[in-house]
Amino acid sequence: MRVASRCGVYLGWLLWWHRQRRGRKKEPERLSPACPCLRQAPPGGPPPVAIGPPSQIQQAQPSPLEDILLERGVITTDDWIRIKAEEEKRAELAGAEIGILSSPRWYERIRVMGYIQTRYALLDNPMMDIPLSDRLATTDPNTFYIRRIRMVFMGQISDRLAFYFQPAYEGTQQALSNLEVVDAFADFFITKDKEHRIRFGQQRVLNSFDTLRSSSNRLELDRHESIQSGAPGERDLGVAYYWSPKISQLRYAQLATYHNGPGDYGDFGIMVYNGQTRNRPELNYDKHVSLRLAHPFELPDGRLLETGLFAYRGQFVVDPGTRSRCPVALHVQDGGTTGCQVLDERLTWYLWTPPQPSWGLLAEYTVGRGPERDSQGFIRESALYGGYVQPYYTWRTLPIGLLTTYVRYGEYYGGIKTINGVNGRSTTINLGLVWEPDTHWRFVAEWEYKEGLHSSLIRPGVPLTSTVPQAEFTGNLFRFQAQWFWN
């Protein structure tokens, strides 16, 4: 009996030892020199976890990284609060998506969000001109006006279907006359991991990084003309294919939490679209084709950096109007004349790193060929080039919220295809200050200096005609914006 009892004890001890051995990691324990109570994680492994006596191993729970950093004094209490708020927001969005997908009711799978921008402008020269952006700032200054009223309806209807619908309600001052559909597309996910998808409908074209950014996540008040001239209105009707590997999906989502992040447009994208820009009829049977090659990198210090290329090519039909004229016969389609058909092609490169945690940088450069009005008023195929560079800095530890300052320098030499092909040569400097007290308010004050050619006047009150050269101007513009969001 004693032998059997001893064997039972030994057997029980061996079983307990075997279970403990199975529960141990193959990686040997490495105690952190800074804190011996933490086990260092292997390279690329999980965060450090607390260790203790064997009797407490099952009860011990890992402390969040931000809690540990706060205890060590690496981050401040304000940093800790902001990190916690961002984590709660991501968890809420993830929970909402799960709830949407699991809900049997169609109206519970749809989210509604939007924003409104109210502005005030001052300028020192009536010839100041920013034709592709905020025209009211120069044509009707010294007054309050509404720049944007947007409402977005979006939803993840199933594992393979997501949709996005955005109408615009803004107009001239308080007259909401510009009622149009801005976005109307649906995504079909070819694979359940969402690495491959096809997008149908009116959507942002693959023209540039600046084109993909909405004014809801862009700090500066305008896109730069060198970039926006390739796709005024930023959208068109067509079909696109996107490929996003899992690691890129995670990094694009992380980049979107910073300022200026447009979201996931894939490491590779290809789009076929009409090419006459947003809400304009197709004027020839030629289709524009655009490509995107990009990747979000993570540097050794943890900083994220996104870089890529865009390219597109097609035939664009320019309306000469009263400001320009065609050197050859107008393009004819279906028995009617439509305008001057000119080659339209570009190659654009960009580099972006967000403020992590303070400074960031955004730069784009484009080259190509397109329609351009010469000094005699003729629209001809001409070379174009230009770009901008924009550093910025964010203070995240202020008690009043986020405060960001930016400066942008840019040049453009080329035509503006949607405004009678006029010459858009310009040099601009923008200096802005952005205050975001919380996630629902953004206040912007910006000064812009610009010298270039006017798109519609030869002097104040005298319109441009097809037989005279464009007038040159130099001016300063001050704008103030209050923007609020709901989601």
Do 224 and 341 lie in one domain? The reply is: yes
Question: Is 158 within the bounds of a domain?
Answer: yes
Do 184 and 319 lie in one domain? The reply is: yes
**Domain span including residue 310:** 152-397+406-434
Count of structural domains within the chain: 2
Do 222 and 85 lie in one domain? The reply is: no
Radius of gyration of the chain (CA): 28
What's the pLDDT at 174? 61
pLDDT, tens only, 216-260:
888 899 999 999 999 999 999 999 999 999 999 999 988 888 766
Do 218 and 76 lie in one domain? The reply is: no
Question: Is 380 within the bounds of a domain?
Answer: yes
Question: Is 459 within the bounds of a domain?
Answer: no
Strands (E), 231-327: 235-243, 268-273, 288-298, 304-318
Do 89 and 158 lie in one domain? The reply is: no
Do 219 and 161 lie in one domain? The reply is: yes
Question: Is 411 within the bounds of a domain?
Answer: yes
| Torsion over CA: 372, 375, 380, 385 (sign) | negative
Question: Is 264 within the bounds of a domain?
Answer: yes
Do 297 and 199 lie in one domain? The reply is: yes
Question: Is 125 within the bounds of a domain?
Answer: no
What's the pLDDT at 93? 60
Question: Is 116 within the bounds of a domain?
Answer: no
What's the pLDDT at 398? 84
Q: Smallest Cα–Cα separation from 348: which of 293, 430, 287, 414?
A: 293
Do 201 and 317 lie in one domain? The reply is: yes
Do 294 and 192 lie in one domain? The reply is: yes
pTM of the model: 0.77
Do 75 and 175 lie in one domain? The reply is: no
CA distance 304 to 31: 29
CA angle in degrees (0–180, nearest 5) for 83-91-401: 35
Pairing relationship of beta strands 472-486 and 462-463 according to DSSP bridges: unpaired
pLDDT, tens only, 366-414:
999 999 999 999 999 999 999 999 999 999 888 899 999 999 999 999 9
CA distance 402 to 440: 12
Q: The domain that contains 347 carries what CATH number?
A: 2.40.160
Do 164 and 72 lie in one domain? The reply is: no
Question: Is 144 within the bounds of a domain?
Answer: no
Cα 41 from chain centre? 34
Do 224 and 79 lie in one domain? The reply is: no
CA distance 365 to 404: 24
**Grouped pLDDT means (10 residues each) for the chain, 487 residues:** 49 53 43 34 34 36 66 71 68 57 70 92 93 88 89 90 90 67 95 94 96 89 95 95 95 82 93 94 92 95 94 95 86 75 96 91 97 94 97 90 95 96 96 93 97 93 92 96 91
